Amino acid sequence: MRRPLIVGNWKMNGTCENAKQLLADLLSGLGNDGTREVGVCIPYVLIPAAAEQLADTAIALGAQNVGDHEAGAFTGEVSASMLKEFGCRLAIVGHSERRALYHESNEMVAARYSQSIAHGIQPILCVGETLEQRDDDKTFDVVGEQLSAVLNTSGEESLFSAVIAYEPVWAIGTGVTASVDQAQEVHAFIRNRVAELDKEAAEQVRILYGGSVKPDNAAGLFAMPDIDGGLIGGASLDAGAFLAICGAAQAGE
C-alpha cells in the first residue's frame, strides 16, 4: 500500500516572517495520524530557519533543486550534502520551470537526481509534456524519455528512494487541471514503464500529480488508482487550501 504524499512547492515566494507563520499554521492544522505524508519544498535561504521549526515534526523539509556535482566551482548551485546537513529530506528535480526557463536538459536532471540519491535525499523527479507535445500525440514519448534519462543513469532500483511527479506543463499555474482520466492515463503509463524494468519498484514508487491542484479538485485526482498524492504550487502558499488538499488525500485512501 502506497502512503499518499502531498508536497508544497513554494517556488520563489516567501519571507522569513510569512514562511514562519505558514509553517506554524500547517503544523497546528495537520494531525499526525500517519495516513499520509506531507512535505514542503521551499527557497534555499529559508531552509535553515525552517529546519529548526520543522525538526521532529510530521512535515518533511525539501528544496526545489539540488546541485549536479559533489562540490566545486559551480557558482549559484547548492549541493546535496549541504541540503542534507540542513535537514532536507526532499528535493524537486527537473521541474518544468527549470527545464524551460533555465534550460536544464534530461542529462542535467539525471545528474541532479543521482546526487540526491547518493546523499540520501529523496528526489521528486518531475516529468510532463507541453500543450504542443500533447496535441502532437507526443506525451508518452516525452515522459518516457524524461524517465529513461534518469533511470539509465541511476538505475530503476533508485526508485525505491525516489518519487515521481507527473506535471503536464499546460496545467502548471494556469488554473487548467488535467482531467482525472488524462492524469490517470499518464500515471498508469509511467507505472507500466517502471514495471517493465522492476515490478516491485513500480508497485512501491509514488507518482504525484501536479498542475493547478486545488481543494475542490484534489479528492477526485487522489482517488485514481495510480495517483499517490500531489505536488502543489500556488495552493501551497495558503495554509487553509494546502491543509484542505492534505485532508483530501487522507479521505481518498
Q: Identify the residue among 234, 243, 245, 248 touching ligand PGA (CB under 6 A).
A: 234
| Among the residue ranges 18-26, 98-106, 209-217, 220-228, the one whose residues contact ligand PGA (CB under 6 A) | 209-217
The minimum distance between CB 26 and ligand PGA, in angstroms, equals 16
Is residue 145 within 8 A of residue 107, CB to CB? The reply is no
Quick check: is 167 catalytic? Answer: yes
Q: Identify the residue among 40, 61, 163, 232 touching ligand PGA (CB under 6 A).
A: 232
Is residue 139 within 8 A of residue 133, CB to CB? The reply is yes
Residues forming a β-bridge with 63: 91
Q: Identify the residue among 114, 154, 184, 212 touching ligand PGA (CB under 6 A).
A: 212
Contact mark string toward ligand PGA, 5..34, x via CB under 6 A:
----x-------------------------
The conformation of residue 64, written as its DSSP 8-state character, comes to S
Q: Identify the residue among 50, 83, 194, 231 touching ligand PGA (CB under 6 A).
A: 231
Return the residues of window 158-187 that contact ligand PGA according to CB under 6 A. Answer: 167, 172-173
DSSP secondary structure string for all residues of 6-39 = EEEE--S---HHHHHHHHHHHHHH----SSSEEE
Cell of 45: 535561504
Burial class, 230, CB count within 10 angstroms (exposed 0-12 / middle 13-18 / buried 19+): buried
Using the rule CB under 6 A, is 39 a contact of ligand PGA?
Answer: no
Is residue 207 within 8 A of residue 226, CB to CB? The reply is yes
Q: List, by residue number, the catalytic residues.
A: 95, 167
Q: Which residues bind to ligand PGA, rule: CB under 6 A?
A: 9, 167, 172-173, 210-213, 231-235
